[in-house]
Structure 1
Amino acid sequence: MEKVAIDEVDNQVNPLGVHSVRKPVSGALGTEHFAMNYFELDAGESFSGGLHAHGDQEEVFYVESGTATFEVGLDREAVTVEAGELIRFPPGQFQKGYNDGDERVVGWALGAPGATHDWDELQSRVYCPDCEAERTHDVDLVEGTFELTCTECGAVQG
């Protein structure tokens, strides 16, 4: 059995700097098959950055307070998630969650299986300068920064 208070969990923000509060609770609890992250998002901040998909992980977001907006799928359908509501994404579904309001969002990201991502199973949807269009990119974490490889032309950004 492990027990932890949110105030005791170290703040570890995304290398992209897209949020100011992210606490990896699963690390503090020592989980192996379940990921759990606590977030506080100020206006304009996001859970993870850009539109992305985890091929190896199902994700559920719970909004504890405030209102979060999620862009879902390649068509970026906007879905509003209010305090007390949850949203689920199956493995492989593109999504991006963020705070587009003025009120702080407090929320949780829950994922399974696994407490960490398999970087070979993560893709992001970003603009490729070589293709001159938004394309799917494979994602790799290299020395603390993200490296993106376009799946269409092979161009590397990072």
Structure 2
Amino acid sequence: MEHVAIDDVEPTPVDDYHADVRALTDPLATDDVAVTRYVLEPGERFSGSVHTHMDQEAVFVVLAGEATFERPEDRITVQENEAVRFGPGEFQSGKNDGEEPVVALAIGAPRESDDVRISRIETLDRDISCPECDTDHMRIAQAADADFVCPACEATTSLE
């Protein structure tokens, strides 16, 4: 058994879209699941882009407040004590559209995700598509020489 006090885990700020994210995966020594606690102030996001994990399903459990999740085809509000699941390959993005803080757990399985794809980066207000074949989403590159790789034709591109 592993035990952790969430307040003892150092927050890891990620870019400019949220201030208090605490990864519980390593402190809990999980092998098969990723667990992260988010506190989002009004206007903050869970991530900076519409994205999917092709090899991971994600569950968001809202513990306080009200979070808005969007997929290309619809939008849903998840209230306190409610949860939402996104399957592998399902593009989504979540944020706090309300006036009160949101506290939520994000649970992903399996723990590691090697195939993350981006279709839009809200913080840059930019759609991500392949410069060669116009595929409407890109895989995040694992190599240092490019930011994204097209899953259809393997063309690479960077944000610059």
The TM-score bracket by the shorter chain reads 0.7 to 0.9
- Deviation, structure 1 residue 18: 1.5
Q: Percent identity?
A: 36
The question of whether the paired residues in 2 share the 8 Å contact of 1:43 and 1:101 is answered with yes
Which residue number in structure 2 is paired with residue 103 of structure 1?
A: 100
Q: d(CA) in 1 for partners of 2:46 and 2:56?
A: 16
Q: Deviations over 1:54-73 (max 9, x none)?
A: 1111110000011000002x
TM-score scaled by structure 1? Answer: 0.84
Aligned length: 149
C-alpha RMSD over aligned residues: 2.3
The yes-or-no answer on 1:123 pairing with 2:117 is yes
**Within the alignment, does 1:3 sit opposite 2:3 as a pair?**
yes
Structure 2: which 5+ runs fail to align? 121-126
Q: Who is 2:70 aligned against?
A: 71
1:86 pairs with 2:83: yes
Cα 1:137/1:101, change in 2 over 3 Å: same
CA distance in 1: counterparts of 2:10 and 2:113, whole angstroms: 19
Q: Which runs of 5+ in 1 are unaligned?
A: none
Kindly state the Cα deviation for residue 51 of structure 1 after the two structures are TM-superposed.
0.7
With normalisation by structure 2, the TM-score equals: 0.83
Task: Using the TM superposition, give the Cα deviation of residue 86 of structure 1 relative to its aligned residue in structure 2, in angstroms.
Answer: 0.2
Query: Following superposition of structure 1 onto structure 2, how do residues 49-60 of structure 1 map, counting pairs within 5 Å?
Result: 49-60=48-59
SS in 1 for 2:49: coil
| 1:136 matched residue in structure 2 | 137
Amino acid aligned to 1:139:
I
On the 8 A contact 1:135/1:151 being kept in 2, the answer is no
Which structure is higher in strand share?
Answer: 1
User: Equivalents in 2 of 1:139, 1:43: separation in Å?
Assistant: 28
